[in-house]
Structure 1
Amino acid sequence: MKRFDVQRPEFQPYGFTCELWMPACMPRPDKHAEVELNWLRTGSLTYLLGGRRVTIPAGRLAIFWAAIPHQIVAFEGQHPYYVVTVPLGEFLGMGLPSDFTQRLLEGNLMQEPAPDPSDPIKFQQWERELRNSNPATERPVRLEIQARILRLARRISRQPTATCPDPALSRADQLACYIARHYQEPLSAARIAAAHGLHPNYAMTLFRRAFGTTMTEFITRHRLCHAQRLLVTTDLPILEVALASGFQSLSRFNEVFKQLCGCTPREYRKGHRPATKRQQVRLQHRSTARIRSSATPGT
């Protein structure tokens, strides 16, 4: 049974998984590059995701891009829930509706409008088969999860998405919401605090106590997530990606990106862009040639 590890390095990949997790409040936000799905048999989970509180009830499949800082701040029930993680490049290659993908990469958590009666059996089967680490069963599970995401996208791609923060949020949550709405602009602790009638020192202390990180680090994470989205979904030059994400210089952008992601922006783009049809055909031809070569007698 998995639990959130506070010592886990940020942006360390989970890979393709379907696992059972125990619900627990997270002392700090988590961030990883995969797309994440949650499904609960009972109870509920409440996330702070990109500065907004969102509750996932039992029985309704939810999906979000986990590069957006996300943190479980409340839950009901003590039963484990299912977590599926899908690498971003694999997700982008599924041929999903563009509006669905766009909303996801903008930091929205989306939920199916009604429960799917087949989910209890499916998630149990996927978790069991992937737990056994059998390559023969992993491919069918990948295809089945892809089909499940396609159905999810079809059902919710035209649903309206709430963008306004809950007025009942705590002071710390309000600060996080403000950052989530303005991170592409020049931001300082003084500006953020003034927008909420607080002294900068008090605002910074309040924020760190609530989220276990500084406002500066939180701003940087939002900018980095925005840059990742632009790198994999557009052909903008690296400099334009940096400026559009809120970074004031290319050197600072490259420094932060390499430090937190372990690679350069250019390397990230290359590793996460789905293959074009021409590239896919080329890879298929190479694979066929290798098979024929290995089947030739005397080789």
Structure 2
Amino acid sequence: MRKERSATPGKPFDIPDDGFLIERHIADAMSAAHWHDHVEINLLMEGQMSYLFNGRQEQVEAGRLVLFWAAIPHRTVDVAPGAPLICIYLPLADFLGLAIDRDIRQAIMQGRFLADPQPSLADAVLLAQWVEEWGKGNAARRRLIADEVKLRVRRLILDTLDAPDAALERQPVGHASVRRAEMLTELINAHYAEPLTLTNLAECANIHPSTANKTFREVLGISVNEYLIRYRLARAMQRLADTDDPILQIAYDCGFGSSSRFYDLFKHRTGTTPKLFRSAVAGQTGRPWKG
């Protein structure tokens, strides 16, 4: 069955806000970027496709597991007709609770697109089994599948650490708009803690502000300012999960300018407060929580 997608940029309507989900659909090109607060694991069963992710074009090879943090706007492009795709949506708190390398977890939170060094026939069998059992299983069976997914993610990360060069391969991007978007996202990623405006970002990229916004909307389906907000929230969520730094300090360090603006944006975008998010992650990870 073909998966229906939301008509506007943002979180697809059929992905649960905070739950685990695994499903199979026919991959299709998306008209605009979307995002949701899960770590997404994909396995393309046949054909080929690519993502525009974090301002870059990432090729997805059939049979090769990929993983990325879906809170960073992403969009499927160049999809082969009829290509079956299995998608797993792992809640962020569950991902943060995994016993994995801290540096690579932070790299994923900062926009690294992770790919298994080698395609695996075993993954195609295993993920197809998960999809079938998820659709038919009771709550206990579904919890087991979620646990098995977490173990597979840990193996993927270990395999990537053993072959870092393979995981970092990128395909060249020729389109001028994608190159401009890449330049702008790199500027935001490097300077998100500073006061930023569309004008000074465009000046640093040596392009006109209207061109900068047009480029972003063409490539990601959102404005430069929207990407900046999402990226700052991503960094704040990482700090809330990984450190005991005061929430006020995190707000300023992540470029929000005031605690009230941080709280308002965080609650509006995530449905919870920074304090409750931190306590929920602490409960998942077993890390002492200091509030």
Fold-level similarity (TM above 0.5):
yes
Report the 3-state secondary structure (helix = DSSP H, G, I; strand = E; otherwise coil) of the residue aligned with 2:260.
helix
Residue 47 of structure 2 corresponds to which residue in structure 1? 43
Report the 3-state secondary structure (helix = DSSP H, G, I; strand = E; otherwise coil) of the residue aligned with 1:125.
helix
Residue 177 of structure 2 corresponds to which residue in structure 1? 171
Matched residues in 2 for 1:92 and 1:211: separation? 26
Matched residues in 2 for 1:87 and 1:193: separation? 34
Post-superposition Cα deviations, 1:74-130, rounded to whole Å, max 9, x if no partner, equal 222422200011112222222112233122112111111112221111111100111
Report the 3-state secondary structure (helix = DSSP H, G, I; strand = E; otherwise coil) of the residue aligned with 2:185.
helix
- CA contact under 8 A between 1:45 and 1:74: conserved in structure 2? yes
Q: Does 1:3 align with 2:7?
A: no
The alpha carbon displacement at 1:246 in A equals 2.1
Post-superposition Cα deviations, 1:37-83, rounded to whole Å, max 9, x if no partner, equal 00011122211222222111111100111111111132224222000
The alpha carbon displacement at 1:204 in A equals 2.5
Residue 130 of structure 2 corresponds to which residue in structure 1? 126
Post-superposition Cα deviations, 1:207-232, rounded to whole Å, max 9, x if no partner, equal 33443322211211111111111111
Matched residues in 1 for 2:140 and 2:235: separation? 37
| 1:16 counterpart letter in structure 2 | F
Tell me which moved more, 163-172 or 235-244: 163-172
Aligned pairs for 1:245-260 within 5 A: 245-260=254-269
Q: What TM-score, normalized to structure 1?
A: 0.83
Runs of 4+ in 1 over 4 A off after TM superposition: 160-167
Residue 157 of structure 1 corresponds to which residue in structure 2? 161
Count of residue pairs brought into register by the alignment: 279
Report the 3-state secondary structure (helix = DSSP H, G, I; strand = E; otherwise coil) of the residue aligned with 1:76.
coil
Report the 3-state secondary structure (helix = DSSP H, G, I; strand = E; otherwise coil) of the residue aligned with 2:75.
strand
Q: Which has the larger radius of gyration?
A: 1
- CA contact under 8 A between 2:106 and 2:238: conserved in structure 1? no
Residue 148 of structure 2 corresponds to which residue in structure 1? 144
- CA contact under 8 A between 2:50 and 2:76: conserved in structure 1? yes
Tell me which moved more, 121-130 or 152-161: 152-161
Tell me which moved more, 81-90 or 27-36: 27-36
- CA contact under 8 A between 1:32 and 1:66: conserved in structure 2? yes
| 2:181 counterpart letter in structure 1 | L
Aligned pairs for 1:259-298 within 5 A: 259-273=268-282, 274-276=284-286
Unaligned runs of 5+ in 1: 280-299
Matched residues in 2 for 1:120 and 1:240: separation? 45
- CA contact under 8 A between 1:179 and 1:192: conserved in structure 2? no
Matched residues in 2 for 1:16 and 1:48: separation? 24
The alpha carbon displacement at 1:147 in A equals 2.1
Aligned pairs for 1:91-110 within 5 A: 91-110=95-114
Q: Does 1:221 align with 2:225?
A: no
Aligned pairs for 1:54-65 within 5 A: 54-65=58-69
| 2:106 counterpart letter in structure 1 | Q
